[in-house]
Structure 1
Amino acid sequence: MLPIYLLEDDDVQRKNYIEFINNSIMINDAHMKLVLATATTEELFSSCVAPEKGIFFLDMEIGDNNTAGLEAAERIKKEVPLAQIVFITTHDELSLVTLERRIAPLDFILKNKGIDSIKKSINNDIALAQNYYDNFAHHSQNLFNYRIGSRFFNVLMNDVIMLFTETTAPGQVTLITKNQRSSFSGSLSSIESVYQNLFRCDRSYLVNLENAVTYDSHSRILTFIDNSTCKVSFRKGRELLEKFEDRNVKKQKTGPHNK
């Protein structure tokens, strides 16, 4: 689910944009949700907690600050790697500033063009963003991306063995690959929603079955190519066994003797 955030301090305009956004989600059958519509940048950033992606509709002028939306966009670009920014503003003279500051907005909607034009632009932007994220999701399945502090990293999905969490380190995810071990802030649920090729074998583990070698259904222990192991929950045992057997059948069909 792709989150949408709206920053607009005019109550009437904010109400209109909420309606336009929700209608556009329905019209485009978009896998999105408007999670926040606020009048302040403070509430925007207090509610927007470390997302990896999102669409941000930002009024450029908030209160007496003519560039509040611009300043918010700069921070969003640093903190949300896959953010799409849409400005809704009367300040067309600031469009060049967005280029100078390398914000690269998805769109720059001018309020003085009228409510119907704004409605059409919001609908088009949601459709465009949906297409962008669909394409990204397709290509990103070959890479696993994560962030430590302000630095972004990616590894080949083929190298990923497992990700897990520990009760002694809440909010931290440990990544095990063929060549490295890393820890970063996050949750398995959010990772699972993005990387659907990973399998949730237990509430504390996400695994790459392509790098699993054996599964003991009696002890419910899954073993990987690096000899690491993890426990499989009773509830997930049957599903994992079916996936594991399907994977082995596919490998046999694509083996050298079948080429």
Structure 2
Amino acid sequence: MFPIYLLEDNDIQRQKYAEFIKNGILINDANLELKSITGTVEDFLQDYVPQEQGLYFLDMEIQSNKLAGLNIAERIRKDTPLAQIVFITTHDELSLTTLERKIAPMDYILKDKGLDEIKHRITDDIETAQNNLHRYSHSSKNLLDYKIGSRYFSILMDDIIMLYTQKDVPGRIFIVSKNQLAEFNGSLNTFEINYPSLFRCNRSYLVNLENATTYDSHTRTLSFIDESTCEVSFRKNKELIKLLSNKKNV
């Protein structure tokens, strides 16, 4: 789950925005959680943990400090270049300041537009954030991502053992990692193209050789750290022997 932070010093508005965010997560079935709801800069910084990704809803003016939210956003941007920042504010005149400080907010919501508009924009922003998170994780070499329904999941590539299909369950991919098992709709060909570090043993198996333990070239049986095995096709045998030989020489 990726975190959402909310900073708003008005108690009533903070409660409403938190409600809108929770509803937006449910509506979008987003892989996000509302991790922090705070009303002061001090409380925000106490909760704040820089991560590779996150979504931040920030009021611009906090406790009569007109630039408090802006200063927080500037820090977030330095800590987390890929953070997605949304301002909810009465200060439309400060929108240019966000450009000058290179904060690049995802959205700039004006409070005087009313609660219905704010709710709509928050829901849309959560959808946008979810899509951005998916694109980022998909392009990362360290993560393998997959989708179940409308939800996206990611697994560290180091943890992947294999992906495979079964003839009696067409269109389904089964994934085995060090810590979990999962299944979802998809095409093994697509994963082979998108994740070239994985090796195609045969028509039904795509494996992570980093988690392979032994290979018997006579029986063409490849074994893995979880004691699972898969058969390597005859035409892939020489390619695999070469890859494993190069791996030993590294």
TM-score when normalising by structure 1: 0.62
Distance, in Å, in 1 between the alignment partners of 2:11 and 2:55 is 20
Distance, in Å, in 2 between the alignment partners of 1:210 and 1:131 is 30
| Count of residue correspondences | 181
Cα distance change on mapping 1:33 and 1:255 into 2, 3 Å: farther
**Residue of structure 2 aligned with 1:196, choices 147, 156, 168:** 156
Q: Deviations over 1:164-214 (max 9, x none)?
A: xxxxxxxxxxxxxxxxxxxxxxxxxxxxx8543221759xxxxx9433552
Distance, in Å, in 1 between the alignment partners of 2:155 and 2:96 is 37
Give 1:238 deviation, angstroms: 8.2
For the residue of structure 2 that corresponds to 1:35, the secondary structure is strand
For the Cα contact (< 8 Å) 2:109–2:121, is it kept in 1? yes
For the Cα contact (< 8 Å) 2:212–2:224, is it kept in 1? no
Give 1:64 deviation, angstroms: 1.5
Q: Deviations over 1:128-169 (max 9, x none)?
A: 0000111111111x257xxxxxxxxxxxx9xxxxxxxxxxxx
Q: Which of the pair has more CA radius of gyration?
A: 2
Distance, in Å, in 2 between the alignment partners of 1:48 and 1:251 is 54
The answer for the alignment partner of 2:209 in structure 1 is 210
- Superposed CA RMSD in Å reads 3.0
Distance, in Å, in 2 between the alignment partners of 1:96 and 1:252 is 61
Give 1:47 deviation, angstroms: 1.1
Distance, in Å, in 1 between the alignment partners of 2:16 and 2:234 is 54
**Residue of structure 2 aligned with 1:249, choices 222, 226, 232:** 232
Gaps of 5+ in 1: 145-156, 158-192, 203-207, 217-236
Give 1:253 deviation, angstroms: 4.5
Give 1:255 deviation, angstroms: 6.2
Give 1:82 deviation, angstroms: 2.2
For the Cα contact (< 8 Å) 1:61–1:67, is it kept in 2? yes
TM-score when normalising by structure 2: 0.64
Gaps of 5+ in 2: 145-152, 160-176, 180-197, 199-207, 216-222, 241-250
The answer on 1:30 being equivalent to 2:23 is no
Distance, in Å, in 1 between the alignment partners of 2:212 and 2:45 is 44
Letter in 2 for 1:198: D
Give 1:241 deviation, angstroms: 2.4
The answer for the alignment partner of 2:13 in structure 1 is 13
For the residue of structure 2 that corresponds to 1:198, the secondary structure is helix
Distance, in Å, in 2 between the alignment partners of 1:135 and 1:196 is 16
Cα distance change on mapping 1:196 and 1:93 into 2, 3 Å: same
**Residue of structure 1 aligned with 2:226, choices 231, 240, 251:** 240
The answer for the alignment partner of 2:72 in structure 1 is 72
The answer for the alignment partner of 1:103 in structure 2 is 103
The percentage of aligned residue pairs carrying the same residue is 48
Give 1:127 deviation, angstroms: 0.3
Distance, in Å, in 1 between the alignment partners of 2:98 and 2:19 is 27
Letter in 2 for 1:210: L
Moved >4 Å (runs of 4+): 250-257
For the Cα contact (< 8 Å) 1:215–1:241, is it kept in 2? no
Q: Deviations over 1:95-141 (max 9, x none)?
A: 0000011000000000001111100000000000000111111111x
Give 1:240 deviation, angstroms: 2.2
Distance, in Å, in 1 between the alignment partners of 2:119 and 2:101 is 27
Distance, in Å, in 2 between the alignment partners of 1:33 and 1:102 is 26
